[in-house]
Amino acid sequence: MGNTALLVIDAQVGIIEGPEIGPVFKKEELLANMKTVIDEAREKSIPVIYIVDTDVAEPDTMEYQVHPHIAPLKDDTVITKKATDAFYQTSLNDYLDTLNIDHLVAIGCKTEFCVDTTCRRATTLGYDVTVVDDAHSTTDNKVLSASQIIAHHNVNLHGLDNIDHFILVRNSSEDIFVHKHLEYK
C-alpha cells in the first residue's frame, strides 16, 4: 500500500495558452507549479502519466501538444482520452494496476471538467487522490470566474469520500507524494 503516480491532466497548449479554449487563469503560475510537481515526481522516481484530450485540437497541431514547459520525457507515459473521465475507455486503470498504484496525485486542466471528473472516478475505482490546489486551473464561464471555480473545487473535493477512498486537496509546497490518506484509515 502507498504506491503513488502523478497524473498530468490535459496540460495541452490549446487549453493553457488558447486561443480558443484558454488561456487559463494564472497560466504562468500554473506552469511553474506544475513543473515543480513534475520535477519532484521524477526526482522521487514516481511514475508521471500524461493524459491528453483528443478533443482539444487536431493531433498534428501545436494546440494538441502537451505544453513545452512541462512536456513528457521518454520514460513518461502518455494516454489519450475522448471524455472528461481519463479512465473511460482508456488503458489508464489497467496501467495503474500493473504498477500497483493506490494513490494518485492530480494536476492539470480544466478544473471543473477533466480534473474533477477523473479524480471523482478514481475514488470509485479504489484510488486515494491528492489534488494539488495550486497546480490546476480553468477559464471563466458564464456564471463564475476561474478563481471562483478553482476555489469551489478545492473546497468541495477536499475530503470527498466515496466508500473507502477519498480526495485530499493539498498545496504543492507540502509533501504531496506522501500517501497521507493512510493516516485517516
CA angle 184, 49, 153 (to 5 degrees): 50
Identify the burial level of 80 via C-beta atoms within 10 angstroms of its C-beta, where 0-12 means exposed, 13-18 middle and 19 or more buried.
middle
| Per-residue pLDDT, 2 | 61
Contact 11/67 with Cβ under 8 angstroms?
yes
- The predicted pLDDT at position 164 comes to 87
- Given CA atoms 161, 162, 165, 167 in this order, what sign does their dihedral have? negative
The parts of the chain modelled with pLDDT lower than 70 are 1-2
Work out the angle between the directed axes of helices 116-124 and 146-157 (0-180°, nearest 10).
10
CB distance 52 to 86 below 8 Å: no
Cell digits for 35? 513543473
Q: Select from 104, 146, 139 the least CA-distant residue to 121.
A: 104
Per-residue pLDDT at 184: 83
What pLDDT is attached to residue 1? 45
Residue-level pLDDT at 182:
87
- Tell me which residue of 85, 60, 69, 59 sits closest to 16, measured CA to CA: 69
What local confidence, expressed as pLDDT, does residue 53 receive? Answer: 98
> 0.95 cut: is pTM over it?
yes
C-alpha cell at 119: 479524480
All structural domains of the chain, each given as residue ranges with its CATH number in brackets, are: 4-184 (3.40.50.850)
DSSP letters for 27-83:
HHHHHHHHHHHHHHHHHTT--EEEEEETTSS-TTSGGGSBPGGGPPPTTSEEEEESS
